[in-house]
Structure 1
Amino acid sequence: MVKQMNRQPDSHQVQFLSIKNKSLQCLASFVLCVVFLSLTAAWNRFPFVFSDSGTYIDVAITHFWPGDRSALYSLFIYPLHLKLTLWPVVLVQAAMTWYLVRVFFRTFAHAFREEQVVLSVLVLGLCSSAPWFVGQIMPDVFAALLILAIATAVIGQDRLARFDRVAIPLLIAFFITTHLSYLIIASGTLALCLLIRLLSGRPTPPLARVFTKVNISMVAAIALGVLTMLSFNIITKRGATLASTGNVMLLGKLIDQGIALDYMTEACPSRAWPICATLPELKQIKARAVAQGKPIGAVSDTFLWGGPLVQLGGMTVVSKYASEITNGAMRAYPSQFLQEALRGFLAQTVTFQVGDDMIRYNPDTSIHQIIARHFDADTYAAFQSSRQYQQQLHVDRFRIADNVLLGLSALVVAGYLLLHWRSNVPLAQFTLVVLGGMVLNTMVTGALSAVHDRYGSRVSWLVPLIALFIISEYIRNKTGTVRVVETGKPRDAMSPARSV
């Protein structure tokens, strides 16, 4: 059993909202946090949508499996909406977020209490980017949750509950299947965790720090995610591949960088690639983008979605020879490819404003047509009456709050790492892993895709999350609440006691 010192009430009598029962406290925390995380979408009067949202809704209904993105997110949301309403998708994404945030607090807190989670989620729900992605019909919300799950499970593995040891690997495997970039982010984040454990200076042998049950379950989770994607593509006759047309997406990136254009200029006279006929047009698109100072990725977006790809027969047709071009271009211009990838990474680092994708989608767009086709008139009318569709979101106001919270949180986290990291070494290790995972997210998107604010803002709320935890622990210290284990000895800051 757990006791309190400094005249604090015994832990089993600590109340939350006048509730003594711990199970009811947890239920109240769940309900409140799901509401807080869904408030922004509720204020919009409809779940947020992106141009890709239509594809994710449509795929599981029509069984048209795209080669450029995972269909498994579509299969995940279909039983939630059943062509009736999209709100269950938002609620389930909010529930996943609450669970992982709560496990993080419960794992690293000196004296966990439900109000820590609820108050922190309230701040995140009002002032961070988190609710914008929780409330959106897109798998972008899982980028931050993937980093949070791996960092919590590996760094705090000695304090995980039995349920967490099963649930977190399953969630990680699922997250990986929902977006092609998540495999790289998950693998890199796990590698960073294992490196930190290896160098942690624990009394156990180095191999024992790495080959633990939790660490093995993390590797198994990543393998399960990969196996699921491969199996799905084999079943749908797209071959043993993670993305049958992923090479076309990379071709778009290399066209944006210019090296694919240079390579095709040299190679087209001796090749019969159909894309060679569009080379003059692609060069003009690139020249206009440079002259107008358009951001990195504007050329690839135009190539992929602006018409040229459709004229060539679509992704499936171009994918037959795209790899030959991309491989040849990277071999011919390796230094230029690395330079452009670095430029994209640096540009993405400072591109993280919330709400850049919260635009109006007109009746001629796919998301508009798909909602009209698959849902009833009331749902379609609700979509048309949403603030996003009516262009009444006023995202700039939320952006100010998000930027202020981000700035203050960065100061809190930096101050903690520089001055107080010894007070909770596992938390410092966790923070480094999360920051490393955010850098990986930036590298993957900036170097291999277009530069967009949503790629940065989908993980930026992790910084305020850590800052809010640090502040809650500081307040706990000031109030004198110290939890001790059964022996009566104060809990060592190096190994937080397992909470319920």
Structure 2
Amino acid sequence: MTSGSRVRTGVMLLPCLAILLWPALLNGYPLVFADSGTYLGQAIQHYLGWDRPAFYSLFLFLLHWKISTWPIVVVQALLTLYVLGAAIRAFVPGLSPRLLLPLCAILAVLTPLPWFVDQIMPDLFTALLAILIAILVLAPAGFGRLEMPAIAGLATAMIVFHLSHIWIALGLLAILLPTRRWLGASSVLGWRGLALAASPLLAAIAMLCAVNCAAFGRLSVSPFGNVFLLARLLYDGPAEVVLERDCGTVHWHMCRYIDVLPPHRTLYPSSDDFLWEPKGPLHSLGGAKLLSLEAGSIISHALHEQPLQVLRASLSNLGHQLLLFQSGDGLHAWPGEVGPVILRNFPAGERRAFLASRQSRGVLAVPDWLRLLHVLGYVAGVVGTMACLVVGIVRRSPMALLCAAVLLCLLGNAAVTGILSGPHDRYQNRVIWLALLAPLLVAATHLSRAVRNTR
């Protein structure tokens, strides 16, 4: 790249960054969620939580150094721009890189993308991971021998940032790899390409297992993750039936709480209350590390004895999650969850900025008109992506592979989050911006051709 090209690239990146960072700039501080406190605190306080890996926390620490959280969202914006640029190069190589600016502008208005770019959470990387896996499966010739391994390394990091990404990556690879030629990939992947495409998932599993084995003595990607499934099965019904029947003969710790959980009483009306209430059942029973020892047995009984009920509840949660995607979930203040980490570990200026932010003052929200645009953009994007998928298959275009990856990510994300954690708006909201990506790239291709033909 010449010096002139570097200058032009830098000039183009500045407005793109401003577009992606506008919610944080409006807020006066990067956006946070309840879990942001844990993600910031793990690396600072040197502990490994039971419910989430520490890799995203390490990533955050390398960027903030207990000085400022602004480098976090700037780097997340830069990574987003890189992945979007890589998608253009892979799936529509004839397009000018300058189209990245209008692409970001449209996505920043019609989708919630910037709200996740600007949040100190790993949720942004769910959708970016789907794009990177699609690129690895396509194996485009426009990428150098060193850049493709770098993309694989980046995808590995995104997988270890959040446990749900393991299942999403597995689903994407399991479907895209056998169908890649049918979806428009023109080149043979070969053993090297197959190894490169599968390496992020395999490396991520190895990294998570190694850390958990060293920390907890369990060779598992999620040694206490069965507690999430137990909570879901309890509130969906199958595990509650098991407890009702067996607590007279089997002395599970959970039996102490059978009379205060639905449908008997609603002292803890949701699985979130069960898991996170400070004085709730999970805390009172000694935490996830203790409860997980019996959770597997209860889950096994529920799956073996009531498979149809479990399947019915899972499909219901999946469908419910697909319809829950309103923007703005979790943008209220989090003084007890995030405030202590910022106030104890960061300089006075950072503390003042955090307390003065619109979110901390409880006045930050996604406007109703913008939420409506996000809904319309999502619906139009899904319809457009499905149409692009059909046309791409007919024309043997690699765009079909991107469309398939997007639709699989939307469905897989709803399945993993809805079935394991329970439906929440923010879960599906983190990936809906993907739906507009392929239609926008196709539209840009046709517009570019039309402009060239008029010259």
1:62, CA displacement in angstroms? 1.2
TM-score (norm: length of structure 1):
0.85
Q: Report matched runs for 1:304-343 at 5 Å.
A: 304-306=275-277, 307-343=280-316
Mapped partners of 1:279, 1:86: distance in 2: 43
Equivalent-residue separation in structure 1 for 2:453 and 2:145 (angstroms): 26
Q: Which residue of 388, 391, 411 maps to 1:439?
A: 411
1:131 aligns with 2:114: yes
Match of 1:122 in 2: 105
**Quick check: 1:186 aligned with 2:169?**
yes
Residue 212 of structure 1, CA deviation = 4.2
Give 1:131 shift.
0.8
Name which of 401, 421, 446 aligns with 1:449: 421
What is the identity, as a one-letter code, of the residue corresponding to 1:300?
Answer: S
1:222 corresponds to: 201
Query: Post-superposition shift, 1:349?
Result: 0.8
Please say which of residues 43-52 and 270-279 is displaced more in the overlay. Answer: 270-279
CA-to-aligned-CA distance 1:415-461 (integer Å, 9 cap, x gap): 44455765561112221222112211111111222101111111110
Cα distance, 1:156 vs structure 2: 4.7
Q: Which residue of 2 aligns with 1:372?
A: 343
- Cα distance in structure 1, aligned partners of 2:231 and 2:240: 10
Contact 2:183 2:398 in 1 (8 A): no
Q: Structure 2: how far apart are the matches of 1:299 and 1:228? A: 33
- The Cα of 1:112 is off from its aligned counterpart by 2.5
Q: Give unmatched runs, 5+ long, in structure 2.
A: none
TM-score (ref. length: structure 2): 0.93
Structure 1 gap ranges (5+): 1-11, 13-18, 290-297, 483-500
- Measure how far apart 1:270 and its partner are: 1.4
User: For structure 1, which segment, 185-194 or 151-160, has the greater mean C-alpha deviation from structure 2 after superposition?
Assistant: 151-160
Alpha carbons of 1:354 and 1:137: their partners in 2 closer, same or farther (altered >3 Å)?
same
Aligned-partner SS, 1:283: coil
Whole-Å separation in 1 of the counterparts to 2:302 and 2:379: 40
- Structure 2 residue aligned with 1:168: 151
8 Å contact 1:84–1:375 — kept in the other structure?
yes
Secondary structure in 1 matching 2:270 = helix
Partner of 1:29: 12
Cα separation, 2, equivalents of 1:201 and 1:84: 47
Return 99-108 or 401-410, whichever deviates more. 401-410
> Which residue is 1:301 aligned to?
272
Partner of 1:45: 28
Question: Would the aligned equivalents of 1:149 and 1:168 in 2 still touch at CA under 8 Å?
Answer: yes
> Residue 413 of structure 1 is aligned with which of 378, 385, 390?
385
The code of the aligned residue for 1:224 comes to A
Are the equivalent residues in 2 in contact too, given 1:133–1:141 (CA < 8 A)? yes
- In the other structure, the counterpart of 2:125 is 142
Q: Is the 8 A contact 1:256 1:286 kept in 2?
A: no
Instruction: Verify: 1:70 aligned to 2:43, yes or no.
Output: no
Q: CA RMSD in A?
A: 2.4
Identity %: 31
- Pairing partner for 1:468 from 432, 440, 450: 440
| Counterpart-to-counterpart distance in 1, 2:275 and 2:262 | 15
Shift of 1:59: 0.7
Secondary structure in 2 aligned to 1:270?
A: coil
Deviation of 1:377 after TM superposition, in Å, equals: 2.7
1:353 match: 326
Aligned equivalents of 1:285 and 1:472: distance in 2? 57
**Larger CA deviation: 159-168 vs 224-233:** 159-168
Cα distance in structure 2, aligned partners of 1:86 and 1:203: 43
Query: Are the aligned partners of 1:285 and 1:299 in contact in 2 as well (CA < 8 Å)?
Result: no
Asked if the contact 2:56–2:122 (Cα under 8 Å) also holds between the matched residues in 1, the reply is yes
Structure 1 distance, partners of 2:383, 2:311, is 32
How many residues align? The count is 451
When residues 451 and 25 of structure 1 are mapped into structure 2, their CA distance, relative to the original with a 3 A threshold, is: same
Give the direction of change, closer, same or farther, for the CA distance of 1:66–1:480 in structure 2 (3 Å limit).
same
Counterpart of 1:250, as a letter, is L
The partner residue of 1:382 within 344, 353, 363 is 353
Tell me the residue number matched to 1:272.
Answer: 251
Q: Which amino acid aligns with 1:90?
A: V
In structure 2, the partner of 1:245 is 224
Equivalent position of 2:213 in the other structure: 234
C-alpha distance in 1, partners of 2:310/2:423?
16
2:451 maps to what in 1? 479
Q: After superposition, what is the alpha-carbon deviation per residue over 1:43-99, rounded to whole angstroms, capped at 9, x for unaligned? A: 111111111110111111112211111111111111211111111110111111111
Tell me by how many angstroms 1:288 deviates. Answer: 7.7
